[in-house]
Amino acid sequence: MNACLFKLLVILLLLVPISSCTQQATYSKEKVEESILQLCKDEYDLTEVEARIIGSTLGVYIPIEGLVDPDLKLNEEAGEKIEDVALSIHRVTMSTDKPLKFYTLTARDTNAIGAEFILTGHVYDVVRVRLLDISRGEYHKRILRDFKFNPIVSGKDKVLELFQLLNENSPLIEGIKPIFYPVFSIGAPGSQKIEILEMHAKEISLQEALFYVKTREYYNLLPNFEVYRSIFPSGFMNEYILLVNVSMFPNPIKEIVTKYFYSGIEMRQRDLAETFEGYRDIGYIGLDGLPRKELEEDWFLSQQVARRIKMLFEEDKRLNKRFIVKSSDGLVENKIFRFTFSIDSEKPLEDDSEVILSNILKLASKIFHRYSFEGFEGIELTNTSSLDGKKIYLSKEKLEQFRRGRLKIKDLI
């Protein structure tokens, strides 16, 4: 009888892992976005969350009223909401069979001031911190945190407001109506209606945003302009590029470029789509608060290293006594990491460059090694400050040798 009881217990004990192992992922790959929205709704009562997957990147957006306090700091309540959404993202990404690599969480202030908080993380880091494979401190260093006033957010409202004023035939913008060629040149006053079909934006600097707007325009032709009817029939498609500089409030729209223009002799047109494409976007979150494209690991690492260079020189007691870090940027071009930073010395010493470059190389090599990242050919460091020994390039192999201590910084400079 005792033996029977023992056998029963053993069978039951075996049932525990077996029964649990046979079950599938909690959040199936088809319902990842839906699961996040459901979690946010059910557990945190957040109903305005949006989510989208692009490749292996999960983007989540939440609009928050009063994201920023009057003293321009992140509002505590808003911070809690962001944490709740982040936790939902973590839960879903860890327990899904969808192979997700990155996630972004964008929180934007609905009060039209362009305040935005973006969290970008590697799903692998989320798992590792749960498994205590990395510390929480290291985990926080690995997350990209951006709290800024995004020109495309505030600029978007201004652009929409402009088109609304045009449609309302407002006298406030009487002076710039002629720019909107040809409807305000050949149309009967008050008959113009511009319908925005598409709007895209690019963050081209911390304050400037470039907007590409595609429209359908309606108007009644003025007498004597019958010849244009065939060229610009009412409801024709038009395009604009608008440059917005948020530092120029209350009139931040700095420039408007139209597709069609009259050269004085003839009507001509520009390829605005191509022009817009030619501009480099320093942001990666679109107007809808979701990532514009799938994030790449090399990009993520370039951003992480750039930020951690700043952190290192600000937080390390020995380094912050000697150096001042003004800026630090990173990008990847042709599989080469390029880090451009401006680090100056308080009291210049002979080994300043050595110390700076050696610390940055150690940091970068350590990060690449920890992510087991091999997809690059080299690393280039450029110090834009007035110090000597500004630039250095190391191939991947040399960087690895440096990490292992087989190469010294003196051999590299």
Partner 1 sequence: MDILTLRRFKMYLMMNKIKIIITFAVTTLLILSVWGLSSLESFYRHLTIAQMPITLLLSGVHAGIFVFMYMVFLRGGFTRIKQTTIKGQKVNIHWNDVIGIDEAKEEAWEVVQLIKDRTRLLKIGGRILRGLLMVGPPGCGKTYLAKAIATEAGIPFISMSGSEFTEIFVGVGASRVRKLFKRARDLAYGYGASIVFIDELDAIGRARSFSFMGGGQETNSTQNQLLVEMDGLKDKDFDVIVIGATNAAEGILDQALLRPGRFDRKIYIDRPSLEGREKVFEYYIKKVKYDKNIDLGRLARKAVYKSPAEIDNIIKEAALIATRNKRDTVSYVDLSEAMERIDMGMKHKKQMTKEERKMVAFHEAGHLVTTYILHPTDDVFKASIISRKESLGAVYRQPREELYTRNKEALLADIKVSLGGYVAEKIHTGTTSSGVADDFKKAMQTASAMVWKLGMSDAGYIGDYTTLAGSAQQPTSFLSQALTEKLNSETDKILKKCLKEVEDLLKKEWQIVERFVKELLEKEELEYDEIEEIFKEYGKTHYSKPA
Segment near partner 1 (CB under 8 A); pick from 11-19, 173-181, 245-253, 265-273: 11-19
Of the candidate residues 26, 135, 205, 247, the single one contacting partner 1 (CB under 8 A): 26
Residue closer to partner 1, measured from CB, 91 or 141: 91
* Residues 396/402/406/410 CA torsion (nearest 10 deg): 120
User: Minimum Å distance from CB 91 to partner 1?
Assistant: 6
Instruction: Name residues contacting partner 1, limited to 53-92 (CB under 8 A).
Output: 91
Quick count: other Cβ atoms within 10 Å of Cβ 6?
A: 10
Residue closer to partner 1, measured from CB, 16 or 227: 16
Check binding of 25 to partner 1 (CB under 8 A).
yes
Q: What's 243-276 look like in SS3? A: EEEHHHCCCCEEEEEECEEECCCCEEECCHHHHH
Residue closer to partner 1, measured from CB, 84 or 298: 84
Segment near partner 1 (CB under 8 A); pick from 3-11, 153-161, 179-187, 333-341: 3-11
Check binding of 197 to partner 1 (CB under 8 A).
no
CA 391/CA 306 separation, integer angstroms: 16
User: Minimum Å distance from CB 85 to partner 1?
Assistant: 17
Residue 408: half-sphere exposure toward Cβ, Cα within 13 Å: 2
User: Minimum Å distance from CB 59 to partner 1?
Assistant: 21
Check binding of 10 to partner 1 (CB under 8 A).
no
Q: Measured between alpha carbons, how far is residue 300 from residues 103, 121, 157, 257, 288 in Å?
A: 11, 8, 30, 34, 21
User: Minimum Å distance from CB 57 to partner 1?
Assistant: 19
Of the candidate residues 7, 73, 130, 254, the single one contacting partner 1 (CB under 8 A): 130
Residue closer to partner 1, measured from CB, 17 or 223: 17
Check binding of 231 to partner 1 (CB under 8 A).
no
Check binding of 3 to partner 1 (CB under 8 A).
no
CA angle 312, 317, 319 (to 5 degrees): 55
169: left (phi over 0), alpha (psi -120 to 50) or beta: left
Q: Measured between alpha carbons, how far is residue 100 from residues 329, 372, 390 in Å?
A: 26, 17, 38
Check binding of 17 to partner 1 (CB under 8 A).
yes
Residue closer to partner 1, measured from CB, 6 or 262: 6
Check binding of 19 to partner 1 (CB under 8 A).
yes
Give long-range contacts, CB 8 A cutoff, 24+ apart: 42-45: 43/84, 43/88, 44/81, 44/84, 44/85, 44/88
Residue closer to partner 1, measured from CB, 14 or 197: 14
User: Minimum Å distance from CB 241 to partner 1?
Assistant: 46
Of the candidate residues 20, 224, 334, 372, the single one contacting partner 1 (CB under 8 A): 20
Check binding of 95 to partner 1 (CB under 8 A).
yes
Residue 259: half-sphere exposure toward Cβ, Cα within 13 Å: 18
Check binding of 94 to partner 1 (CB under 8 A).
yes
Interstrand relation of 102-109 and 115-122 (parallel, antiparallel or unpaired): antiparallel
Of the candidate residues 46, 87, 127, 143, the single one contacting partner 1 (CB under 8 A): 127
For residue 93, the surrounding DSSP H or E stretch is helix 76-94
Residue closer to partner 1, measured from CB, 132 or 265: 132
CA 4/CA 14 separation, integer angstroms: 15
**Chain contacts with partner 1 (rule: CB under 8 A):** 1-2, 5, 8-9, 12-13, 15-17, 19-21, 23-27, 91, 94-95, 127, 130-131
